[in-house]
Amino acid sequence: MRQWWQQGSPWVWFSASALLVCLGLFMALLGLIAVKGMHHFWPAPLVQFQLTEQSRPQLGRLVRSVSDRAERKDRAYRLVDRGDLIVDASSQLPGRYLLLEAHQLLSDRPKQAVWVQLQDGRTFYGKQVGQETAPSDAGLWLDLGMAAPVLISAVEIRAYWLPNQLSFRQKGAVFWQEWRYFLTASPSQNQSAGGIFPAIFGTLVMVLLMAVLVTPFGILAAIYLHEYAPKNWLTQLIRTSVYNLAGIPSVVMGVFGLAFFVYVLGGSLDRLFYADQLPAPTFGTPGLFWAALTLALLTLPVVIVATEEGLSRLPQAQRLASFALGATQAETIWKVVAPQAAPAMLTGLILAIARAAGEVAPLMLVGVVKSAPQLPVDTQFPFIHLERKFMHLGYHLYDVGFQSPDAEVAMSLVYAIGLVLLTLILLLNLSAFFLRQRLRRKYRLID
């Protein structure tokens, strides 16, 4: 036993388990988001339920089982979503979601059950009246379990299918179609339906603008620090400080952005150039440009660090060779050094973009909104509207999760948004990773 302890056997076990637990937790997290995000678009079968023995069966979507441990263990409930309600004075309906007991659910799943979503994002579940599989020209007659069937006109319908009849492949087709819709449409129904296109677009535009701002400044600052600045302790101190700034909290940068860029800079801009529109602020309020500028400042150290790393990896012999051929310092930097450090700069830029795409906290302060009426880029002069507010994937996720009136829809929608965000950032990181990989190989060749 002594030997067991002395050889550190339990510690090895502990550390191995720690690694397993860490990776396991992360994988579980990613898997969960992937599965739940995907699941959101997989056509769910519709079930039938009866509120009382006498009432007419209605259709609904089984959301999940609920067991309330605090109350009684043996009692399991089913949470059923019966779609948006067509308000009818005669029926006193308690709400969209019902907590049903097992016996209230009927076992048969009618083939005629229809899932239909309108252009405005409302969703209905009902039984199709008549035998046609496609809606006739007039529209779709739906039996919603109320007194009389309802006619939904064809122009109003965005999508519709009969989930209980679909084969696996047909479900797959619906799945992809819904994904496409999700990625390309605007949100509707108070964010709880529709797509997330403005959020994706806003994220991309903001991040691109940030990249445009951060690239020249980051790269030139790094070149200054590494090539032009005198090599002494002061430069070293400044360099360390800049590197340390890579770790400052993003929200602090947001605070600075709001207090300085928006209030001070934006306020002065307004007074100088947009005085006719005051007191309505133009740039004196959070907007796209300030958000991009703030994130650019936040990610500047990332770009500087990566670029400097690339510059210092470059063998001194390359610079000497260039000088020996009669090149000036500028020619050495721009013709020999910079091209060779370009992959490192690109890596830094991608890392900066990946970081910026995932940041939410500073954006909450400097320009993101839950729903923007207009996209920041459109066909109207000057095409890019720097002062507009915009939507952002990460903030959209937060907003849908926390401010949505419809918590149940929000719950599964948020996973889908999270999946999109995660995929975006993962792709960016992967590309940075492989770029760095290639970079290392290339330098091994030179050394």
Partner 1 sequence: MWTRKSRDCISRVAVTLVGYSVLLAFALIFIFLLWQVWPLFQPAKISVQSLESASVTMVDSYSVQSTNGHTATHPLMLDNGLDERVQLQADGYFQWYLRVGDDWQLQMQGHLGLASWQAATMLSGSRTLLVADKNAQVYSWFRLHQELIVRPRITLRQMELQALIPVSADSFFSLHPGQLDWYHVTTGKHLAELQLPDTPLQQLQLSEDRQLMRLHWGPDHSQAYQLQWQHPAVAGGQLWSAVHYEGRREAAYVWQTAAAADDSNPRLSLIPLTSGTLKAAGYAMLFATPLAILAAVFTAFYLPERWRYRTRATMEMLESMPTVILGFIAAFLLAPWLEQQLMLFFVLLVLVPTVLVLCSALWFHWRQRQQQQAEQPGAVLVLSLVAGILTAFMLAPALEHAWFDDSLLLWLAGQGIDYQQRNALIIGMAMGLAVIPSIFSLTEEVVSQVPASLTQGVLALGASRWQTLSSMVLPVAAPGILAAVLLGLGRALGETMILIMATGNTPLLGFDPFEGMRTLTASLALEMPEAAVGSSHLKVLLLAALLLLVLTFLINTLVSLLRQRIRQRYLQL
Partner 2 sequence: MQTTVQTTMQTKVAIHEFSLWLQHQQVLDAIELSIPANQVTALIGPSGCGKSSLLRAMNRMNELMLDCRSQGQVLLDGQNIYQSETDVARLRCRVGMVFQKPNPFPKSVYDNVAFGLRLQGQRSRRRLDEQVESALKQVGLWSEVKNRLHHNALTLSTGQQQRLVIARAIALQPEVLLLDEPASALDPISTLKVEELIYELKAAYTVVIVTHNMQQAARISDYTAFLNQGRLVEWAETHTIFTQPASQQTEDYITGRFG
Query: Residue 99 CB, nearest distance to partner 1 (Å)?
Result: 16
Nearer to partner 1, 209 or 297 (CB): 297
Binding site partner of 273, from partner 2, partner 1, none, Cβ cut-off 5-8 A by kind: none
Token digits of residue 272: 């100088």
Number of residues that bind partner 2 (CB under 8 A): 21
Does residue 315 interact with partner 2 by CB under 8 A?
A: yes
Nearer to partner 1, 18 or 183 (CB): 18
φ, ψ (nearest 5 deg) of residue 154: -60, -35
User: Which of 6, 74, 324, 382 touches partner 2 (CB under 8 A)?
Assistant: 324
Picking from 405, 401, 400, the residue whose alpha carbon sits closest to that of residue 96 is: 405
Does residue 312 interact with partner 2 by CB under 8 A?
A: no
- What does the alpha-carbon distance between residue 308 and residue 314 come to, in Å, rounded to a whole number? 10
Nearer to partner 1, 118 or 391 (CB): 391
Count CB-CB contacts under 10 A for residue 267. 16
Query: Residue 351 CB, nearest distance to partner 1 (Å)?
Result: 8
- Exposure string (b/e) for 353-381, b if CB count within 10 Å is 16 or more? bbbbbbbbbbbbbbbbbbebeebbbeeee
User: Which of 77, 175, 243, 323 touches partner 2 (CB under 8 A)?
Assistant: 323
Site string for partner 2, 332-371 (x = CB under 8 A): ---xx---x-------------------------------
Count CB-CB contacts under 10 A for residue 162. 19
Nearer to partner 2, 52 or 232 (CB): 232
Nearer to partner 2, 317 or 430 (CB): 317
Binding site partner of 398, from partner 1, partner 2, none, Cβ cut-off 5-8 A by kind: partner 1
Contacts with partner 2 in 201-240 (CB under 8 A)?
231
Does residue 328 interact with partner 2 by CB under 8 A?
A: yes
Nearer to partner 2, 40 or 319 (CB): 319
- Binding segment for partner 2 (CB under 8 A), chosen from 72-80, 315-323, 349-357, 388-396, is 315-323
- What does the alpha-carbon distance between residue 199 and residue 368 come to, in Å, rounded to a whole number? 10
Binding site partner of 278, from partner 2, partner 1, none, Cβ cut-off 5-8 A by kind: none
CB 415 within 8 A of CB 401: no
Token digits of residue 191: 């964010």
Q: At what angle do helices 288-313 and 338-358 cross, to 10 degrees?
A: 140
Query: Residue 103 CB, nearest distance to partner 1 (Å)?
Result: 25
Binding site partner of 446, from partner 2, partner 1, none, Cβ cut-off 5-8 A by kind: partner 2
Binding site partner of 360, from partner 2, partner 1, none, Cβ cut-off 5-8 A by kind: partner 1
- Which residues contact partner 2 by CB under 8 A? 231, 315, 317-328, 331, 335-336, 340, 442, 445-446
